[in-house]
Amino acid sequence: MQQLDAATKRNLFLLTCCQAIGQAANTMMFAATALSVVTFYPQRDLATLPVTMQHLGVMLSVFPAALLMQRMGRRFGYRLGSLFGMAGATVVGTGLYLANFWLMCLGGVILGYAVASIQMYRFGAVELVPASHRARAISWVTAGGVVAGVIGPALVRVTHDQWMPIYLATFAAMVALHAIVLVLLSFIRFPSSAEVTAEAAAATGTGTLAPPRPLGRIVAQPRFIVAAVAGMVAYGSMSFLMSASPLAIVACGLPHAEAHWVIFLHVMGMFVPSFFTGNLITRHGTVPVMLWGVALLTLGILAGLGGMTDWHFRVALTLNGVGWNFLFIGATTLLTTTYRANERGKVQAMNDFLVFGTTATASFLAGFAQERLGWVPLNWSALVLMAVALAAVLWLRLQRQPERAAA
């Protein structure tokens, strides 16, 4: 296998740092928003709506963000995302200070562009390395979430009561994190769109790439369908349960600190496996790792159904995180085999549009279902998503399609 040079390793390391800090800000949004909303807004079943609006913002942003990056380059697109992150966190914090729920929702929409950009770090990582390192590069950059899982919840614990109203300082800290990412991105050298296309053309052996295919033809491929469905289920089920868990924990009489601790364990579950998920995919293949992800997500749901003590929440959300990691990284790796270099912008955008459309719906339903139905029915409904993911991955296995890049 081709070895990576020092410059590539440096770029990957810096991108991993950006992932860590950017995801820390995103983790803070998840951990703090619902709990801050219920301090002043009487309709508790809408407490997760600002987070839902963030997912909606992601869904609306993926196409312009991806196409802008293909035209202007990754660094320009990613830095613009950081500026949106600073602006969005400022608006959310202002909404909290003014006790204006709808202003917080607007801030969530603005933050959506930043999160869309952060989610595309995994595609930027793919462009930094040879094809043989794709799965590892995705996994390594995703591993930055381990640091995010430490920084994010820790900052929430430290800042949540520093200023009044409660959690105001948390949103101020989010602004600072996005500013740090903006600076770090200036030191990463991403290949230009022309360089990515030229490298892909050289890899064909003919020196040219075939003309881009219509998007409808690309998304009709079994590999794209399964990659999109698996990503939708991974993020949808994870968001559904994670968004509701702080409300469920507090509703059980457990302290706010327990909600912060459970989110920490969940985020560790999401990102610690990234240190070896890429190697597992390289060794065992994408489909087996995705099946393991479905199995772990299912075990997490069963743990949630088993009871509502602190340890039931901890085990359930940790397994949920690990299952998300296997299924989502597997789905992303599979997605990179479905398009050519001159098709990447629209295909990546379509995938993330579907994934975060599902996530927006899931996070909105989470608060409503938790308040109206409760934690146990939430988990039963998540089992339906597991059945969909299992059916999709098994269907791909029956197709017996090789896992190679589109020719």
Tens of pLDDT, residues 260-273: 788 888 888 888 88
Q: Are 346 and 66 in contact (CB under 8 A)?
A: yes
pLDDT digits (tens, 9 = 90+) for 65-105: 988 998 888 999 999 999 999 999 999 999 999 999 999 99
**Helix count (H) and strand count (E) of the chain?**
17, 0
Q: What's residue 208's pLDDT?
A: 65
- Give me the mean pLDDT over the 153-172 stretch: 89
Mean per-residue pLDDT of the chain: 86
Least confident interval from 182-191, 202-211, 388-397: 202-211
Residue 200 and residue 340 in contact, taking contact as beta carbons nearer than 8 Å: yes
Instruction: Give the end-to-end CA distance of the chain in Å, rounded to a whole number.
Output: 21
Q: Mean pLDDT over residues 378-407, rounded?
A: 78
pLDDT above 50: residue 407: no
pLDDT band at 312 (very low <50, low <70, confident <90, very high): confident
What pLDDT is stored for residue 405 in this prediction? 46
- Whether the predicted pLDDT of 298 surpasses 60: yes
Q: Which of 11-15, 42-46, 354-358 has the lowest mean pLDDT?
A: 42-46
With cut-offs at 50, 70 and 90, classify the pLDDT of residue 205.
Answer: low
Alpha-carbon torsion 271, 273, 276, 278, what sign? negative
Query: At residue 214, does pLDDT exceed 50?
Result: yes
Instruction: Say what the pLDDT of residue 348 is.
Output: 87
**One-character DSSP codes across 67-101:** HHHHHH-HHHHHHHHHHHHHHHHHHHHHHHHTT-H
What is the model's pLDDT at position 220? 93
User: Please, are residues 346 and 65 in contact by the beta-carbon 8 Å criterion?
Assistant: no
Q: Taking residues 385-407, what's their average pLDDT?
A: 76
pLDDT at position 302 over 60:
yes
Domains and CATH numbers, the chain: 8-197+210-399 (1.20.1250.20)
Using the Cα atoms of residue 337, residue 342, residue 345 and residue 347 in order, give the sign of their dihedral: negative
Q: Following DSSP, what letter does each residue of 162-194 receive, concatenated?
A: TSSSTTHHHHHHHHHHHHHHHHHHTT--PPPHH
